[in-house]
């Protein structure tokens, strides 16, 4: 049986570049060289692509790191901004280990569809919609998916009264987000009107509009969904030293991820159903992961849906799959197999 030729795309120009490289590294190391002809591709923060014309050797695969790209030399080494399809290695599929802007917002999906290369993860439209937190909220509401109350504020209309009106409706604490931010970057939680003004002014430096969201006191969870498979158990985000879940909590060890979450079966089932509805409501394909707030009265609210969830060996989706007896390598095989059958 011929091996599948797989481009593993990692990096990208977003603020989640480094996390993406870790995801890509894990995917490459876990892939079976008897099944796949593996071609890693690194996309720098400035949009420059790096790849080799030769497939990885078994040693290179097992010891793969970002240093692989720095060591490339000779005719096999390729570096170019916006390469043409003819310049890349022939591929049966692209495994997207990308996160955030450009990698998760429909840009790379559009490029690959134009090249007629199948890829992992959700399609162009679902990726673009899910990346925009405001559009995501609109779709949640249209599909009857509970989500916290919100208001949208615009830079060109922003005055001293804007946040007063918003906070009168939504109260404090007030969650303020860059609608295109990722990995908990571009989010602030204000306890009063002065803090809200400072956060908004800071976020307006990079965005023309902001999402203001009612804060739901309680807990936080995240739940993956893989089409056609047994429901995945949710993960509970237990805060250790911080009051709120943000970038520092996510990546600086200030949040304990408990998988499977120690929830009552009824709450677990509701979270799983919410993740499934969010996936299909956005037009997802293959797999996704939805973040959820759990109010003190047990009500649950969809916060956002990730169309390319983190894929490091210790990321939430692989941990949830492991609870269902699916190893990291098997999860990669499953994602590739399902993605090849998707009609874009």
Short-list 68, 49, 5, CA closest to 31: 5
Tokens 């060996």 — which residue? 313
Q: What is 129-146+218-327's CATH number? A: 3.30.470.20
Q: What is the mean pLDDT of the chain?
A: 93
Q: Residue 250: pLDDT above 70?
A: no
Short-list 118, 122, 155, CA closest to 136: 122
pLDDT by residue (tens digit) across 177-218?
Answer: 999 986 556 899 999 999 999 999 999 999 999 999 999 999
- Which pLDDT does position 329 carry in this prediction? 98
Q: Residue 73: pLDDT above 90?
A: no
The domain segmentation of the chain, as residue ranges, is 4-119, 129-146+218-327, 150-214
pLDDT by residue (tens digit) across 93-151?
Answer: 999 999 988 899 999 999 999 999 999 999 999 999 999 999 999 999 999 999 999 99
**3-class secondary-structure state, position 273:** helix
| 57 φ/ψ sector (left φ>0, alpha ψ -120 to 50, else beta) | beta
- Which pLDDT does position 76 carry in this prediction? 79
The class of domain 150-214 in CATH terms is alpha beta
Q: Which tokens in the block code for residue 100?
A: 């955030």
Sheet holding 287-295, edge to edge: 255-258, 235-239, 218-226, 287-295, 300-306
The answer regarding whether domain 4-119 maps to CATH 3.40.50.20 reads yes
Q: 287, 121 in Cβ contact below 8 A?
A: yes
Task: Please report, rounded to a whole number, the percentage of residues in the chain having pLDDT higher than 70.
Answer: 95
Q: Residue 245: pLDDT above 60?
A: no
Cα 232 to Cα 160: distance, rounded to the nearest angstrom: 46
Q: Residue 323: pLDDT above 70?
A: yes
- Which pLDDT does position 2 carry in this prediction? 87
- Which pLDDT does position 33 carry in this prediction? 95
DSSP 172-228: SSEEEE-TT--TT-SEEEESSHHHHHHHHHHHTTT-SEEEEEE---EEEEEEEEETT
- Which pLDDT does position 244 carry in this prediction? 58
- Which pLDDT does position 185 carry in this prediction? 66
Q: 299, 146 in Cβ contact below 8 A?
A: yes
pLDDT by residue (tens digit) across 13-43?
Answer: 988 899 999 999 999 999 999 999 999 999 9
Average pLDDT estimate for 1-7: 91
């Amino acid at each position: 049986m011929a091996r599948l030729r797989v481009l593993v795309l990692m990096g990208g120009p977003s603020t989640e570049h480094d996390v993406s490289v870790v995801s890509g590294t894990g995917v490459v190391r876990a892939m079976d060289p008897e099944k796949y002809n593996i071609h890693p591709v690194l996309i720098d923060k400035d949009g420059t692509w790096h790849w080799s014309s030769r497939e990885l050797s078994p040693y290179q695969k097992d010891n793969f790191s970002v240093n692989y790209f720095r060591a490339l030399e000779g005719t096999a080494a390729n570096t170019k901004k916006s390469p043409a399809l003819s310049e890349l290695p022939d591929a049966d599929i692209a495994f997207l280990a990308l996160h955030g802007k450009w990698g998760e917002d429909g840009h790379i999906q559009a490029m690959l569809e134009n090249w007629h290369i199948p890829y992992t993860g959700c399609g162009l439209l679902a990726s673009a919609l899910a990346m925009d937190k405001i559009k995501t909220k609109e779709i949640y509401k249209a599909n009857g998916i509970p989500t916290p109350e919100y208001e949208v504020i615009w830079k060109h209309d922003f005055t001293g009264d804007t946040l007063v009106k918003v906070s009168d409706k939504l109260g404090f604490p007030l969650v303020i987000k860059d609608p295109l931010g990722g990995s908990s970057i571009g989010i602030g939680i204000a306890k009063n009107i002065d803090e809200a003004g400072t956060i908004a002014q800071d976020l307006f430096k990079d965005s023309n509009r902001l999402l203001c969201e009612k804060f739901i006191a309680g807990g936080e969870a995240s739940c993956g969904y893989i089409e056609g498979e047994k429901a995945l158990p949710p993960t509970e985000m237990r805060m250790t030293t911080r009051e709120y879940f943000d970038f520092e909590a996510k990546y600086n060890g200030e949040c304990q991820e408990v998988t499977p979450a120690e929830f009552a079966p009824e709450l677990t089932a509701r979270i799983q159903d919410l993740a499934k509805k969010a996936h299909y409501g956005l037009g997802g394909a293959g797999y996704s992961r939805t973040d959820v707030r759990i109010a003190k009265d047990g009500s649950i609210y969809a916060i956002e849906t990730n169309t390319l969830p983190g894929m490091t060996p210790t990321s939430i989706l692989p941990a949830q799959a492991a609870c269902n007896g699916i190893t990291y390598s098997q999860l990669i095989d499953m994602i590739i197999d399902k993605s090849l059958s998707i009609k874009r």
